[in-house]
Amino acid sequence: MSKNKTVNGSETTHSDINTNSQIIIKDLWKVFGRDSKRVLGKKYRALGKEEIQKKTGCVIGLREINLEIKKGEFYILMGLSGSGKSTLIRNLIRLVKPTSGSIVIDEKNLTKMNNEELLNFRRETFGMVFQHYGLLPHLTVLDNAAYGLKVRGISKEDRYIKAKEVLETVGLKGWEDYYPGSLSGGMQQRVGLARALANDPEILLMDEPFSGLDPLIKRQMQDELIELQDKMQKTIIFVTHDLHEALKLGDRIAILRNGKVVQVGTPEEIVTKPVDDYVQEFVRDASPAKVITAGTIMEPAKIILYAWEGPKTALTLLRKNKRRAAFIVDKSHRLLGVAQEDKLEELLNKPEKVEKIPESALRRVPSVGPDTILEDMFSIVTENQYPVPVVDADNKFLGVVTTDQIFESITPMGGEDNV
């Protein structure tokens, strides 16, 4: 994709700035302290965070935030403690009032809303899940899940119907009459998620929701959230300081430092093209195999055969290119399999004339989609003597990935010297 513009020091592509953006944050600042707006003047604006604090006593929470988040996107806010992740979430729902800038959601400017408008907008738009589950211990699981609907004035019968639906969705069917104290941490977090989903929010805000869970339960919750998102297609803004969690869950990641966004990109872009030393250090231990996709490294096949051209033509092309096999497609360029030299010879030796190569004469091979990460291709590569074909959702042949390509992609620069 061609480069478009720079946002907070990071290059974005055309896909980053999109008319489908549901959330648009422009030049957002949050400064804590007395007479905070003076920090935005020429005298202080360009100074560093520590220097501003030393000269004014004000603390920079957020600085020149410009982000666009698309509808249905799983968007990660990531950074170390104090980077501004949670502050950004709180500004986003106006629990904290921004010092300057604008927040537009569904074409509505939150920074211009009065308290009543803001309260109604929050109820209709957001669902929130935080690290501390916030469950009411004296209420059953069902009543906790239905609590938001109760606040909105939904009848008991209707809210219980909806709460039971979402509890089943998050895997808690049969636990409706239990109390939070009898549930594990992971189950309590599911109740919190069910409560957020019961209101059918447009946007789900999740602030370090799994950080307090044991590693095994955490991975399970991540997997379940991925599966849920595939069904729900909600806009999710997810705060984490865990790089591996961010890479696993996110469509795009925004990395913050000292209240400022330093890079925005896909997991693959963040790992393979860090914009500075800070991001480089952040992703140092990340495995490229977990983020680089087949579509990124695939190449055109050296030779493609066409089923309708018949076995004689196919065999001639193989021998001309000094190959014993090649991928073969139909007239819609859909992958049919691999045509092998010996099988083509058998077709030519048949007493009856064969004008079209039948699929029964082809070898079936496993294929992958362009979004398949390299880690998921290891088993295919080791068990298959051919390059791995890459196909789209309609099985159209896009290209191939070889073992050498995978190895070169996951080996650090200079790694050959260590072999």
> What residues make up the domain containing 367?
295-410
- Are 269 and 360 found together in one domain? no
Q: What is the pLDDT of residues 373-396, one digit of tens each?
A: 888 888 888 777 889 999 999 999
Of the residues 235, 270, 287, which one is the last residue of a structural domain? 287
Q: Where are the alpha helices (DSSP H) in 129-285?
A: 141-145, 147-151, 156-169, 185-198, 215-232, 243-249, 267-272, 277-282
- Are 202 and 267 found together in one domain? yes
- Are 87 and 186 found together in one domain? yes
CATH code of the domain in which 164 resides: 3.40.50.300
Q: What is the pLDDT of residues 213-264, one digit of tens each?
A: 788 788 888 888 998 899 889 999 999 988 888 988 999 999 999 999 999 9
- Are 210 and 351 found together in one domain? no
Q: What is the pLDDT of residues 174-196, one digit of tens each?
A: 999 999 999 988 889 889 899 99
Burial 63-82 (b: 16+ CB within 10 A, else e): bbbbbbbbeebbbbbbbeee
- Are 124 and 175 found together in one domain? yes
- Are 192 and 112 found together in one domain? yes
- Are 127 and 197 found together in one domain? yes
Share of the chain above pLDDT 90, in %: 44
Would you say residue 319 lies in a domain?
A: yes
Would you say residue 245 lies in a domain?
A: yes
* DSSP structure string for 83-121: SSHHHHHHHHTTSS--SEEEEEETTEEGGG--HHHHHHH
Would you say residue 150 lies in a domain?
A: yes
CATH code of the domain in which 351 resides: 3.10.580.10
Question: Which pLDDT belongs to residue 391?
Answer: 93
pLDDT band at 411 (very low <50, low <70, confident <90, very high): low
Please name the residue that has the structure tokens 């806010």.
77
What residues have CB less than 8 Å from 25, skipping those under 6 apart?
65, 66, 67, 68, 92, 101, 102, 103, 104
- Are 193 and 338 found together in one domain? no
pLDDT band at 123 (very low <50, low <70, confident <90, very high): confident
Total structural domains within the chain: 2
- Are 225 and 366 found together in one domain? no
- Are 321 and 283 found together in one domain? no
Would you say residue 13 lies in a domain?
A: no
Would you say residue 137 lies in a domain?
A: yes
Please name the residue that has the structure tokens 């795009």.
252
Of the residues 258, 287, 316, which one is the last residue of a structural domain? 287
Report the mean per-residue pLDDT for the chain: 86
- Are 180 and 276 found together in one domain? yes
d(CA 178, CA 158): 20
Would you say residue 16 lies in a domain?
A: no
Question: Which pLDDT belongs to residue 19?
Answer: 54
For the chain, the residue count is: 419
Would you say residue 198 lies in a domain?
A: yes
pLDDT band at 412 (very low <50, low <70, confident <90, very high): low
User: Within the chain, how many helices (H) and strands (E) appear?
Assistant: 16, 17
pLDDT at 417 over 70: no
Question: Which pLDDT belongs to residue 10?
Answer: 37
- Are 299 and 226 found together in one domain? no
Question: Which pLDDT belongs to residue 133?
Answer: 67
